[in-house]
Amino acid sequence: MILILKKIQKCMQWIVLLFFGSTILAVFAYRYIPVPLTPLMIIRCVQQVSNGEKIRLKHHWVKMEEISKYLPVAVMASEDQRFLEHRGFDFTEIRNALEERKSGKRQRGGSTITQQTAKNVFLWPSSTWVRKGFEVYFTILIELMWDKHRIMEVYLNSIEMGDGIYGAEAVAQQHFGRKAKDLTRANCALIAATLPNPRRFSSKNPSRYMLKRQTAIMRQMKHIDLFPSKEKE
């Protein structure tokens, strides 16, 4: 019995070491190389096949310099206005979200762009405490190993921006008929407006609600400076 317990303990140690080693290596690698595929992309493709549909996967990685200067501003205005100030967690937004939940108001998320990047690149879409725990872990790793420029670059290239559409270049081509670098300020605000649920809300055929969100985001964008270049960080 003691021998079996020792073997189990040794096995668990190896599993833990393998987990930390592989995840740290993966985060370090993505500091330099493009993210070719994410768990969400795979999940969506499996769902499409299981529903008897054709696979829809539009994704083309581009450098930050090839993305409109207005898109980082738009997503910060919409998703994370203190992105350049915090270290992965916006405790002000978390506190506000908790207070709203206690008061019974409409709940809102407090996830930062770094947290969303961690979820999209390394994890699966769910609201379980296990997944949230892994999200915290990967968020810390990302903030330790990447600079803000890289976080934004990976975020804008990897997140879902439509049905089967991932990243700025894909949504620019599919919904606006242009390259990501040619997206206008209004285009970027409309894309940002869809991010809470990009499969329900469309930047190609926006509803009246989306147009209202676009207008609100454009107002917020006036108070946010252009995203700094890598050299200025």
| Cα Rg of the chain, angstroms | 19
For residue range 75-85, what is the model confidence (pLDDT) as tens digits?
999 999 999 99
* Contacts (Cβ under 8 Å, ≥6 apart) of 185: 70, 74, 218, 221
For residue range 86-137, what is the model confidence (pLDDT) as tens digits?
999 988 877 776 776 666 655 555 789 999 999 999 998 887 889 999 999 9
Say what percent of the chain tops pLDDT 70.
Answer: 94
Outline where DSSP puts E strands in the chain.
58-59, 160-162, 165-166
What pLDDT band is residue 5 in, cutting at 50, 70 and 90? Answer: confident
What pLDDT band is residue 12 in, cutting at 50, 70 and 90? Answer: confident
For residue range 176-223, what is the model confidence (pLDDT) as tens digits?
999 999 999 999 999 999 998 999 999 999 999 999 999 999 999 999
Angstrom CA distances, 182 to 9, 21, 67, stand at 56, 40, 8
Asked which of 42-46, 143-147, 174-178, 228-232 is least confident by mean pLDDT, the reply is 228-232
The two tokens of residue 209 are 């609600």
Q: Is 165 exposed, middle or buried (0-12, 13-18, 19+ CB in 10 A)?
A: buried
